[in-house]
């Protein structure tokens, strides 16, 4: 190879090297832009701030829910205490009512008892049986008025059809006055307390 050929070969190598360098530089990644880096950093900060704000909101909401739960617990305890007091008061009122249910009736019967005592005391010093009989009759009517005021009423049975809900038959007798199944005689009075049978009447029924 002569000198001219060597020079051409050397020039070709230089051209190849320059082309290769140009290709490498063209394919090499561009250096990061400072503005892009700042934008990415700003986005990260915004996301962090948003996350922090969300966490703060969640924490605040949890605190509010905790306070509400405590308030509801206190309300429940107060309501339970009120209910227990009401229940105890109601039980005591029921016990007192059952214990003193006859208080009003006893108060009304006391004057009758007083009159009986007066009549008995007078009968020891006074032998006037007619006056005593009148006094006892007055006391009986006084007692009858007290009981009637409480809803007690004597049954009217003679001449009515026999009814097992109101009458207790102790005997069947023949009767020319009444047809079969009619109460002809009352052996013991029956009483109604308002609309309830207090004691059925003991009767004789025609056969």
DSSP 77-95: HHHHHHHHHHHHHHHHHHH
CA distance linking residue 170 with residue 153, whole number of Å: 22
> Do the domain assignments include residue 187?
yes
Phi then psi dihedrals of residue 98, to 5 deg: -65, -35
> Do the domain assignments include residue 180?
yes
Query: Do the Cβ atoms of 171 and 205 come closer than 8 Å?
Result: yes
Q: What is the CATH number of the domain that holds 181?
A: 2.30.22.10
CA distance linking residue 1 with residue 8, whole number of Å: 11
Q: For residue 199, what are the β-bridge partners?
A: 191
* Residue range 77-106: mean pLDDT, rounded: 88
Predicted confidence band of residue 30 (pLDDT cuts 50, 70, 90): low
Query: Do the Cβ atoms of 151 and 182 come closer than 8 Å?
Result: no
> Do the domain assignments include residue 159?
yes
Predicted confidence band of residue 56 (pLDDT cuts 50, 70, 90): confident
Phi then psi dihedrals of residue 100, to 5 deg: -115, 25
Predicted confidence band of residue 53 (pLDDT cuts 50, 70, 90): confident
> Do the domain assignments include residue 200?
yes
**pLDDT for the residue 14:** 67
Looking at the predicted structure, is the pLDDT value of residue 34 above 60? no
Range ranked top by mean pLDDT from 5-9, 50-54, 170-174: 170-174
> Do the domain assignments include residue 97?
no
Looking at the predicted structure, is the pLDDT value of residue 1 above 70? no
What residues contact 139, with CB distance under 8 A and at least 6 apart?
112, 115, 116, 119
> Do the domain assignments include residue 190?
yes
> Do the domain assignments include residue 96?
no
Domain housing 173: 153-207
> Do the domain assignments include residue 67?
no
Report the predicted TM-score, pTM, of the whole model to 2 decimal places.
Answer: 0.54
DSSP class of 196: E
**pLDDT for the residue 169:** 95
- Domain total of the chain: 1
């Amino acid at each position: 190879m002569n000198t001219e050929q060597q020079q051409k070969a050397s020039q070709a190598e230089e051209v190849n090297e320059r082309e290769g360098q140009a290709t490498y530089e063209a394919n090499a990644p561009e250096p990061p832009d400072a503005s892009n880096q700042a934008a990415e950093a700003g986005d990260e900060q915004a996301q962090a701030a948003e996350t922090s704000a969300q966490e703060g909101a969640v924490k605040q909401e949890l605190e509010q829910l905790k306070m509400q739960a405590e308030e509801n617990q206190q309300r429940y305890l107060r309501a339970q205490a009120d209910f227990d007091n009401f229940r105890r008061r109601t039980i005591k009122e029921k016990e007192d009512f059952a214990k003193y249910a006859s208080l009003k009736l006893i108060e009304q019967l006391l004057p009758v008892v007083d009159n009986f005592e007066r009549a008995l005391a007078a009968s020891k010093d006074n032998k006037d049986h007619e006056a005593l009989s009148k006094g006892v009759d007055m006391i009986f009517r006084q007692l009858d008025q007290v009981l009637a005021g409480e809803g007690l009423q004597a049954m009217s049975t003679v001449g009515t059809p026999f009814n097992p809900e109101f009458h207790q038959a102790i005997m069947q007798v023949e009767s020319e006055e009444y047809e079969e199944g009619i109460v002809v005689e009352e052996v013991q009075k029956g009483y109604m307390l308002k609309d309830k049978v207090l004691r059925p009447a003991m009767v004789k029924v025609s056969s």
